[in-house]
Structure 1
C-alpha cells in the first residue's frame, strides 16, 4: 500500500493519499473474511441471510422468538426482506410463525428444534473459523484494533450521515 500511495504522490502530488494505507487493506481484508465466511457457510449448509435470521432469534434468548418488526429492527433489513427470509426458513422447517399478540398484523417468529440445531452448528463453525483468522493478533492487539475500528466506524458514520447498525 505504501508503494501505491507513493506512486500517486509522485504522479499526482496534490491527490489526497493518506487514506490508501488504511482503506485499501480494510477492503482487501474484508474480501478475505467474506470469502472465508462463504466457505464456512457452505460447509455448514446455510446461507448468509438464513444465518442472519436464525442468529438474531437465537441471540434473543429463550424462548427464541421475536416479532418480524423486531427482527427487522435488529438486522436493519427491510420488512419485506424479512418476510421473504421468514417464509423461506419456515418452508425449510427452521422457524415457525404465529400471531404476535401485540397487534392484528404482528407476527411472532420462533426457532424450531431443527432451526435451533442448525444455528448452533453454524455459529460454532463461522465464529470458530473467524477466531482462528484473528489468532495471529495478541489479546492486547485485538483489543486495540477493536477500539480503533469502532472509533473509525463511528466517525465515518458521522461524516456520511449514516445511521447506527
Structure 2
C-alpha cells in the first residue's frame, strides 16, 4: 500500500526534525482530511434539495425530537451545536421554503417555537434515508467489526476532548 499524503508529511518531518514525535499527525491530520472529504460527499443531496449548509441539521433535529416536531431556538442551538444567531438564519431560510413554522411560546411571549411543517417532515424523511445510504456507501471499505471499533475509538477520543 502506498503511503497517503499525511504519512508522506510525517516522513518529511522525521527527516527534517527527527527530534519531534510526529505520530499524532497520523491521526489528527487524517481526521481533518476525512472531515473535508466526507463533507464534500455528504452535501450533494442536501444541495440538490435546495438546502444551505446546516439547514438539514435543523430539520433532522426537529424530526428526531418526536411529535409535534417542535423545539425552541435555544433547544435547537444546543442540539445542533451552533449559536442562536445561526439558528435564526437557518430557520429564516427554512420558513421561507415552507419547511418550518414559528409560533409564540405559551407563557413567554418573547420565546419562539420552531415546528416542522408536513412538507418539512416529508422532505426530512426522504433526505434522512438518502443520507444514511450515502454514509453506508462511504463506509463500505470497512467491515462491520472495523466500523464498530472505529466508532468506539472515536467516541473515546471525543470524551477526552470534552
Q: Among residues 2, 8, 13, which one is paired with 2:7 in the alignment?
A: 2
Counterpart position of 1:154: 159
The TM-score normalised by the length of structure 1 is: 0.87
- RMSD over aligned Cα atoms: 1.6
Superposition map of 1:94-113 within 5 A: 94-113=99-118
Q: Output one character per residue of 1:38-87: Cα deviation in whole Å (capped at 9) or x when no partner.
A: 22322333223210111100010111111112111211221122122212
Distance 1:125 1:23 in 2: 29
Shift of 1:2: 3.5
Superposition map of 1:80-159 within 5 A: 80-155=85-160, 157-158=161-162
Shift of 1:34: 0.8
The TM-score normalised by the length of structure 2 is: 0.88
Superposition map of 1:37-116 within 5 A: 37-116=42-121
Distance 1:153 1:55 in 2: 22
Runs of 4+ deviating beyond 3 Å: none
Gaps of 5+ in 1: 159-165
Distance 1:36 1:102 in 2: 44
Distance 1:91 1:39 in 2: 21
